[in-house]
Every structure is written in C-alpha cells, then in structure tokens.
Structure 1
Amino acid sequence: MDTDVQSFAVVNLQRRPVVVETGGFVAGFDPATSSPYINYATPLPGARPTPDDVRALVGAFRGRGLLPRLEFAPDAAPAVEPALRAAGFTVEEVHPYLVCTPATLIPRSSTVHTRGPNGGPALRVETPVSEEEFAAVDAALSESFDGAFAPTAHGTARLRRTQESGGGVRFVRAPDGSCAGGASCSAPAVGTAELAGVGTRPAFRGRGIAGAVTAALTGAMFDRGAESVWLEFSGEGSRRVYERLGYRSQGTRLYMRLEA
C-alpha cells in the first residue's frame, strides 16, 4: 500500500497549477498561496536522489520564495530520507495513515443530530453547490483547525476545484445555515484517493459530524471506482472515529523541511 499511496501523492501534486519535476522529485505549486501545506514536493516511488538532485529541488522552492518541504511514504522510497537529512532537512512530523476498502467499509447513516445522538433536529450530509456553501465549508474548516489557515477566496476555489475535478466535498449545515463541519477528498488516482481536512467546529463536536462526512466521501469514492481511500489522523479520538467506519492502520507518512 505504501507504493500506492506514494504513487497517488505524485499524481495529486501533478494536478497543481505549477508542476516542477526534477531528479526523481515532483513539486507542486499554487501561485495563489505561499502555504507550505499546499506547496510541497514528493519523490517518485523508489527514487534514489543524488546531492545534485536535492540541490535542484531546493532551488525550485527558493527561487519562488518558498520553504523547501516534502511529504512522502518513506517505505516507498527508502533512499530519500537519508539524502534529505544529508542536505540539512529535518523531520517536521511523522503521520500514521489508515486505509479503507469496499470490503472493510462499515456503512452508517448520513444523518446527524445537532444536540447529541438522541435529540436535536436531524441534519443530513450535503454536497456544496453555491459559492456561499463552499465558502462556509472553508470558514468552518479554518475554525476547526484553530485558525491554522485563514478562510480565503482561494481556499474556497480549491474546494470547488476538488469537487468539480472528480473528488468530493461534503458538509453538514448548522441550524443557522452555516457549516457545522465538513471534509474533502481528492479525485482517485492509481486506484486510491486521499481524504483530508476532516473538521468540525468546536460548538458542534461530539455529534458524529466527522464520521458522517467521512463515511459519505469514502462511499462516494468507491462509487467512482476507487479501490481504497486513505487518510491521516491526529489523536486517538480521531483514530477511533475512522476505525469505526472500517479504516485500518497501514503505514506512515514523513514530513520534512529545510529551514532557511
């Protein structure tokens, strides 16, 4: 599965507005943002970069005023981490990832209750259509992640592109018409898809929103022919949510960066 996940990472970065391929690496850039979580690189499976390859990659970032940063499954390209460390890169994070297949998916209701599992108005998982709905999802995810990124027109546009390019965006509408929580999933490639950005606004946590949108997106990707869907998680609470849907532990992804 590590090779599938890594191959997906390559294809997904090749969807960026600007793509640079050099020395066994693919770097994807979006000129609309300087965020290192949007602008990063990944190696081809089995890549064995030389010092010159790494320098060329760093130059692609520095020339754009961006932080050199990579995300990848280390077991799919074992020679990459040592080559990056030799060039001064450090580990930012190590993230376990989980995988769900049609055989392991545990169906669940797409209805949630805003005041707990046994009460409150029943709300369903929805697909955003209007610009206002995509913007509401972007704002809700920003709040969900404690403002780690600000809601912007570019973020709204990225969500719309995800939905319109074969991926998916799902959300639960709050009683006041805003977004209580949501998630997105990249379009499938090489048989798999990445589900990311699952977030619930603090006021609506504990209502099953994360599980509902995750289940809806996972099922939607299987309907589109994906053989698996994978995601990263933060914390044991999140892990339990995903495991109840049929996600199973599979491997790790490594994040590395080169500070100025």
Structure 2
Amino acid sequence: MDLRIQRSVVANLRNRPNPVVSGPFVLGLDLSTDSPHINYATPVPGIEITARDVSGLVQAFGARKPRLEYVVSCAPELEKLLLDEGFTVESRTEYLICTPSTLAVPPAPEGFALFEPTTDDEFAGMISAQNEAFGGGFSATAADVDRYRRNRSAGAVLIAARTADGQYAGGGTAVAPAEGLSEVAGIAVRPQFRRRGLAGAITAAITSRLFAAGGDVAWLEASGEDSWRVYERVGFRPAGQRLYIAK
C-alpha cells in the first residue's frame, strides 16, 4: 500500500498547473498560490537519490519554500540527505485508508445539507468556511475559487455543508483518483458547528463518491486524536507513515 500511495502522490503533483521535474523529484507548483501546503515536492519511488539531487531540488523551488511530503518507506534514505541540506522535520504522520468494504456512511446531521458546489458563490462559501475552521479569516479570493473550479473540472470531489438558513458550515475535498487511489483532504467544520457528526458525514460523502466513480482506496491523514476518531468511525484504518519536511 505504501508504494501505491506514493505513486498516487506523484501523479497528483504531476497534474498541478505548473509541475516541475527535478531529477528524482516532482514539484507540484500552482502559481495561483504561495501556500507551501499546495506547492511541495515528492520523490518518485524506485529512483536513487543523491545529495546533488537534493541541492537541485532546492534550486528548483526558486523563491518558494522548499518542502516535501512523502511515504517514508518509499525513500528511506532521503530524510538524512534532506537534514544534511538544512531541512527540518515538520511532522511525522500516520496515514489511514478506507476501502468500499470498510466505509460506513452516516446521514447528514439534522439541520445540515451536504452538496457538491458548482457556482462561484458556493465555492467561495465552502472555501471561507474551511479557512475559518483552519484558523484563517472567513474569506475566499477569486484565485481560490478558480483553483477549486479547475480541480473539480479535473475530476476532484468537493463536498460543502450548509445549514437550512444558508450558513456555510464546512466542507472537504479529494483529488482526482490516480491508479484507483485518491487523497481526501481539507475536512473542516466551523467552530460553532462542531461535535454534531458533520466532519464524519462530509468525509464519508466524499469517499462514497470516489468509490462510485471507480476508486478502490481513499486515504487521508488525521491532525489529532479527535479527527482520528472521526475518520475511524466512517471506516478509515491506519496503514503507513508519511513525513513532512521543509527548509
């Protein structure tokens, strides 16, 4: 499973608007944003990596912050090379996977509707709710909306949550599947709507749509014990280790 996950990450970054190949790395650039959580690199599994390759990757980032995300077992010697180049570990995470046989889909909590956004206003409402949930302001730029629309056109799954009176409560996304796999990410619920089962319902709704489209594995990472429990309740199980590291 580690190798399948890493290959899917490589495929996802190659589908970014401005991908760059630097030796054994793929750098997924999206020039519409400076976010290091969108503009990062990953190693292509099965290719030997040298210190010169790492130096070349740093140069390929240009003025952007050099940052990598990858499955540890697929490049076990890479971490030392990165540390020698001045990188610092951001976090070590365990990823979880879900398959059609483990998925449990709860109903949307009472008072909320889950839907796939299609208009600019709906994209903006969903993005704003996610931004607030992750600690940013309740706002969305035109570039954010364009990016979500472009991702949806490329096969991404987006689910928004809204109250009966029209307040955007949260949302989540999944990248277009590659090799039958897709990463579920950005699961977010605004503070006033939490602990009602909404995060689990959003996660399950996204995952069920991925499977309906022919995918066989969805994966994600939990940010803490609370989110871990949410994901386990809808059928995700721990499967491997990933590393976030930046300079």
TM-score category by the smaller chain? over 0.9
**Would you say how many aligned residue pairs link Structure 1 and Structure 2?**
247
Corresponding residue of 2:12: 12
Deviation at 1:149, TM superposition (A): 9.7
Deviations 1:48-99 (A, max 9, x none): 211111111100112xx10111010111111211221221211011121110
Q: Report deviation, 1:173.
A: 0.8
Percent of counterpart pairs with the same letter? 46
Superposed CA offset, 1:193-237 (max 9, x none): 000000000111112111111111100000111110000111111
Alignment partners' CA distance in 1, 2:155 and 2:17: 16
Work out the CA distance in 2 between the residues paired with 1:150 and 1:2.
Answer: 36
**1:82-101 → structure 2 map (5 Å cutoff):** 82-101=80-99
Distance 2:138 2:86 in 1: 27
Asked if residue 146 in structure 1 is aligned to residue 135 in structure 2, the reply is yes
State the alpha-carbon separation in 2 of the partners of residues 230 and 248 from structure 1.
9
Q: Distance in 2 between matches of 1:141 and 1:131?
A: 15
Aligned twin of 1:48: 48
Q: Quote the RMSD (CA, aligned, Å).
A: 1.5
Query: 1:109-128 maps to which residues of 2 (within 5 A)?
Result: 109=107, 111-113=108-110, 122-128=111-117
Matched, 1:200 2:189: yes
| Gap runs ≥5 in structure 1 | 114-121
For the Cα contact (< 8 Å) 2:105–2:201, is it kept in 1? no
User: Which residue identity does 1:76 align to in structure 2?
Assistant: C
**Mind listing any 5+ residue stretches in structure 2 that lack a counterpart?**
none
CA distance in 1, matches of 2:46, 2:184: 24
Report the CA distance between 1:47 and its aligned residue.
Answer: 3.3
TM-score normalised to the size of structure 2?
Answer: 0.96
Match for residue 104 of structure 1 among 102, 105, 111 = 102
Match of 2:244 in 1: 255
- The aligned amino acid for 1:173 is R
Runs of 4+ that moved beyond 3 A: none
- Deviation larger for 80-89 or 248-257: 80-89
Could you tell me which amino acid in structure 1 is paired with residue 109 of structure 2?
Answer: V
Question: Structure 1 residue 240 and structure 2 residue 229: aligned?
Answer: yes
